[in-house]
A and B are shown apart, each in its own frame.
Chain A
Amino acid sequence: DTEVTQTPKHLVMGMTNKKSLKCEQHMGHRAMYWYKQKAKKPPELMFVYSYEKLSINESVPSRFSPECPNSSLLNLHLHALQPEDSALYLCASSTTDYNEQFFGPGTRLTVL
């Protein structure tokens, strides 16, 4: 299995909702990443997990809460988001920190 999967593909939520994004890989990679991508912009790094431990948090607001339950799974818990948080959220993985990254298809999030 050489892919990164993400669910859901699309998500619409209100500002008071709580939702979660899920990412999974079965390539044995030990580093996993969350990126946020706005339209016509490159991805912006949010979080890095290395060996299931959070190693990088790029000053992301606390309304985004990452979780890495095991080496294959990465979640992003969302709560009290703002409309400006609407974006494509991409998950990626690599063998170890910052080697070539393999991206999932993303979750298109709309906050109303």
Chain B
Amino acid sequence: GNSVTQMEGPVTLSEEAFLTINCTYTATGYPSLFWYVQYPGEGLQLLLKATKADDKGSNKGFEATYRKETTSFHLEKGSVQVSDSAVYFCALRPSDGQNFVFGPGTRLSVLP
């Protein structure tokens, strides 16, 4: 079946540190991949996406590259800010058009 695995949190970083949140997936075919962010007390916001292998999604300084060979879609940011503190969900949309599959989420805390 389809599944998404994310690194366990919480992740605590100092401001301006480099961020990596690992995401790997299991799916048949060529799923679309997404990162969503959820700030405290809010709904989910689409952060970035990639729809085919080697695509790089980017937004607000965050980047992730769709790696078919390693079935990964790791989220990176060069310099985090306190305002990036949130929960980050990796998700996939299977190529057969079925339900989104969300990872468990990774909580990020950025300290000033």
Chain A residues with CB under 8 Å of chain B are 4, 6, 40-43, 45, 48, 56, 90, 92, 97-106
- B102 near A43 with CB under 8 A, answer yes
B42 / chain A contacts, CB cutoff of 8 Å: 105-106
Are B103 and A42 closer than 8 Å at their CB atoms?
Answer: yes
> What would be 24 A-B contacts, judged by CB atoms less than 8 Å apart?
A40-B105, A40-B107, A41-B104, A41-B105, A42-B89, A42-B105, A43-B44, A43-B102, A45-B99, A45-B100, A90-B43, A92-B44, A97-B97, A98-B97, A98-B99, A100-B34, A100-B49, A100-B93, A102-B46, A103-B36, A104-B43, A105-B43, A106-B42, A106-B43
Give the chain A neighbours of B103 by CB distance below 8 A: 42
Closest residue on chain A to residue B9 by CB atoms: A40
Main secondary structure of the interface of B (DSSP, over half): strand
What total of A-B pairs shows CB separation below 8 Å?
44
**B83 CB, min distance to chain A CBs, angstroms:** 18
> How far is B93's CA from A103's CA once the two chains are assembled, in angstroms?
15
Total chain B interface residues with beta-carbon distance under 8 A: 20
The residue that B45 contacts in the complex, of A41, A56, A103, with Cβ under 8 A, is A103
Q: Is residue B70 contacting chain A, with contact meaning CB distance below 8 A?
A: no
Cα–Cα distance between A20 and B105 once the two chains are bound (Å): 29
Contact present for B43 and A98 (CB under 8 Å): no
Q: Which of B46, B89, B99, B103 has the most CB of A within 10 A?
A: B99
Q: Is B102 a contact of A98 with CB atoms below 8 Å?
A: no
